[in-house]
Amino acid sequence: MSDSAKLIIDGKEHLFPIVKGTQGERAIDITGLREQAGLITLDTSLGNTGSCLSRITYIDGEKGILLYRGYPIEELAEKSTFVETAYLLIHGELPAKDELSVFSNRLNESSLIHEDMRHFFVAFPKYAHPMGILATMVASLSTFYPVPDIMDPDAEEQFMANLISQVRTVAAFSYKKSIGEPTVYPSFKLRYVENFLNMMFSSPVKDYRQDPDIVRAVELFLILHADHEQNCSASTVRLVGSSLSNIYSVISAGISALWGPRHGGANQEVIHMLEHILATGADPKGFINRAKNKTSKERLMGFGHRVYKSFDPRAKILKQACHKLLNKPGVSNPLFDIALKIEELALKDEYFVERNLYPNVDFYSGLILKAVGIPYDMFTVLFAIGRVPGWLAQWREMVHTASFKIVRPRQVYIGQSKRHYEPIDKRISRKQG
């Protein structure tokens, strides 16, 4: 098997090395293409472009495989915790007992945000979107916790701990602001997920009772969203980080990229779809049939995935937790009945089966967050909390790579050829009508 690829341009041969990954992937390294042949590649949306060499996450979309640092997501979901998974992504190995203890203690000690930042929450409009608040507040953390130009290993660990821990504090504070309740401070007595839920739902007049099933479902949600290779937000983190921007600005950029409905907002779209079906009194079967019609405006959200061509391994895991929550006594909502009916019908429909359009992680995660009591505009915030360790792992891997340099994509210019400036009285108006 050849270890290089031959490209013939204008009758001249050019050889480019083939890079092989540990899981059998092969890529043509065209780094020297412009220098050799005076050409660049064009790959809109970068769907066929490998932007980096990475040891963090591996995805096989055809086989439905997701590995964090080589560990199957199924094993981590069953046996690990979010904090342990965060350590794994950032440091490359599962922590020993003493390492996990140090890491957990650092997270706990870093959970408070500067008291003066409370004034920022007061200044936001009453109905400000929590993702807007989160992106702004994370960026502003750099003014309260200045990042040195050169970080030693201990400082790097501290700033990463700050972000993993403080992002959930900012998220909970932003939610409390939106409903007009006083903020609830983090507690050293509670673990990561329990702490977040307590800050979200506890109040001076009502303690929050921790439900093990809810805690487990949220923990699973965070683990399964912790990283997902070079997606839009991870690529944004690497792009912004390549300028040597401070670590808070880098993560804020990732949050902003995640905000879009085509990325982190997809689970919210699932709930909006279910609400539309409920509000219009549509029959789930009829809705599915209309969704199969390309001319129809109806879209079945939460099915299929750009990367996974068979099934989404994260969805298989969340499905069990989702069904467990929806079947708990006292958990009742007509949206859940519609969702389960759509799931049942779609899994039996030849149209979806033939096209491998199975429920994805967004379908079940939206239902889980709804069952937990998380408001819609906080769905993507939960996604961001889970994704911070992955973003930090991507950033850390990049800045410690020997070949690290600023990202600067090329383009193919299709605008006007060179032309000359004309005085305003000689210009022809293009106004229509």
Q: Which residues are catalytic?
A: 305, 362
| CA 27 – CA 18 distance, rounded (Å) | 6
Nearest to 182 by CA among 122, 116, 112: 122
Angle at which helix 266-280 crosses helix 334-348, to 10 degrees, equals 100
Q: Are 223 and 76 in contact (CB under 8 A)?
A: yes
| CA 249 – CA 176 distance, rounded (Å) | 24
> DSSP for 228-281?
-SS-HHHHHHHHHHTTT--HHHHHHHHHHHHTSTTTTTHHHHHHHHHHHHHHHT
| CA 275 – CA 289 distance, rounded (Å) | 18
> DSSP for 6-72?
EEEETTEEEEEEEEE-TTS-EEE--TTHHHHHS-----GGGTT------SSEEEETTTTEEEETTEE
Q: Are 194 and 220 in contact (CB under 8 A)?
A: no
Q: Is 206 in a helix, a strand, or coil?
A: strand
Tokens of 143: 């003014």
- Strands 65-68 and 71-72, by their bridges, are antiparallel
Length of the chain, please?
433
CA distances, 181 to each of 175, 186, 269 (Å): 9, 15, 27
CA distances, 9 to each of 14, 33, 101, 316 (Å): 8, 11, 58, 47
Q: Are 399 and 270 in contact (CB under 8 A)?
A: no
